[in-house]
Structure 1
Amino acid sequence: MKSRDIVRLFFSTLLLGAVATLITSFFVKAGSYKEFLQPLDVFEVFGLLLFFTALGFVFSLISQMGFFAYLTINQFGLSMFKGFWSPIQIILIAFTLFDLVYFRFRADESDTSLITYIIVALAIFIYGWIVSGIKAKETNRKAFVPALFFMVVVTAIEWVPGIRTSGGDYAWLMIVPLLICNTYQLLVLHRLTNKTAISDNKKNSK
């Protein structure tokens, strides 16, 4: 992949994270906006928009760091464990889903129901399964498990700062842009590498 493609991926993901966070904030932090809309305080509303946009940049950077860490870990796992790497990833996916339910429920001091944690973990898993299916369809079947590992395990690790905040607002505010940015990076990567390969083949054929 060419350097300009890497730069384009970086900035497009950065913008996507900002937009996703800003839109999510309208639902998750609606009370904060209403506070300055009645009566209208333009400067405070503008400040909120800037704050959530900047927060989106941070979430996007976390997503991008996780993505490139995943690429490194995947290559290391393939070279180290070879044919055992896929079963190991499946075990880690199962453990992560268990952690998202059981350990979060045990650590939670609020009255949040266990069902809520089950639904959240299941939603992340189903979403990851759909995205991984698209990835496998567009590339090859062997890409399914690594893609699911990234969408579930890596996203859960990236989400840790949001999970540890008091209250659930920032946890919800963080998970949406993380999933969107991770999905975008996962599905656009092979398009960029394929484009580079086609371009190199054309140059070599001249």
Structure 2
Amino acid sequence: MTIRNWVKFAFWALLIGGIVNAVASLIIRWDFYQPYLVNGEFVEFLAAVVWNIVLGITMSVMAQAGFFAYLTLHQVGVNVFRSLTLWNWVQILLIIIVLVDIIIFRFAPGANTASDWFIYGFLLIVLIGAAFATALKKVKMTQKPHVLISTVFFMIVVTSLEWIIALMGRQENIDVYVALLLFPLVAVNAYQILMLPKYNTQSEIDRKNLEERRKARKETTKTAKA
């Protein structure tokens, strides 16, 4: 990918993370925002929104780091197991392990009521549902069925590792951040896995156009000298 296209790719990822987190916070943390509006403290309200945008951008940076780490991991996995089919089975096993870990070691210790389990169950459905929706879209875009497992792996396993900063917390209001931070991570990761081919293709086109311009300049220079 060219630097120009990488900057575009990263910029949109940052923007998506910030906007999604801000919107999610208005829903999940409405009790935090409401007093500002009731008391007419609009500057404080906007400051809170901006703070959540910055938080979303921070999550986007983490998601971008995780995405490029995954690209390396995927290539290493294929090379180590010398078979895409075998690597896919390993990824399925890791998906199951991560989901079990989330339920038993992350959700269960903090779930004291049925309401807690309902919230955690909803978040798990969001994670898994987004993973399969993104994977099906990826298959449709590429016409390559084998990318289904690797996309689901990325959306579940890598997103969960990025989400761990909230999942491992035990503060009084940690559930708010467990719910809040999932949405920008899922949105940014879906964007990255779906849009990377577009930017790679555009980078190839840009390189060809650059080479053609260089050749044209050389021809012009030769003609001028002649």
TM over 0.5: yes
Contact 2:13 2:191 in 1 (8 A): yes
TM-score (normalised: structure 1): 0.90
Unaligned runs of 5+ in 1: none
SS of 2:39 mapped into structure 1: coil
Residue matched to 2:129: 126
Residue matched to 2:153: 149
Taking a change above 3 Å as real, the CA distance of residues 116 and 46 of structure 1, as seen in their structure-2 partners, is closer
2:197 matches 1:193: no
Q: Give 1:45 deviation, angstroms.
A: 1.1
Task: Find the aligned partners of 2:39 and 2:125 in 1 and give their Cα distance.
Answer: 41
Residue matched to 1:170: 177
Tell me which moved more, 175-184 or 75-84: 75-84
Residue matched to 1:86: 88
Q: Give 1:104 deviation, angstroms.
A: 2.3
Task: Find the aligned partners of 1:55 and 1:22 in 2 and give their Cα distance.
Answer: 9
Residue matched to 2:73: 73
Tell me which moved more, 120-129 or 33-42: 120-129
Residue matched to 1:103: 105
Match for 1:151: what amino acid? M
Residue matched to 1:183: 190
SS of 1:141 mapped into structure 2: coil
Match for 1:50: what amino acid? V
SS of 1:57 mapped into structure 2: helix
Task: Find the aligned partners of 2:121 and 2:176 in 1 and give their Cα distance.
Answer: 18
Task: Find the aligned partners of 1:75 and 1:33 in 2 and give their Cα distance.
Answer: 45
TM-score (normalised: structure 2): 0.83
Q: Give 1:163 deviation, angstroms.
A: 1.8
Tell me which moved more, 73-82 or 42-51: 42-51
Contact 2:18 2:52 in 1 (8 A): yes
SS of 2:103 mapped into structure 1: helix
Which deviations, in whole Å up to 9, do the C-alpha atoms of 1:122-146 show, x marking residues without a partner?
A: 4322221111111122122221111
Contact 1:101 1:114 in 2 (8 A): no
Contact 2:106 2:168 in 1 (8 A): no
Contact 1:67 1:185 in 2 (8 A): yes
Residue matched to 2:220: none
Tell me which moved more, 44-53 or 196-205: 196-205
Residue matched to 1:35: 35
Identity level (%):
28
SS of 1:65 mapped into structure 2: helix
Residue matched to 1:160: 164
Match for 2:76: what amino acid? F
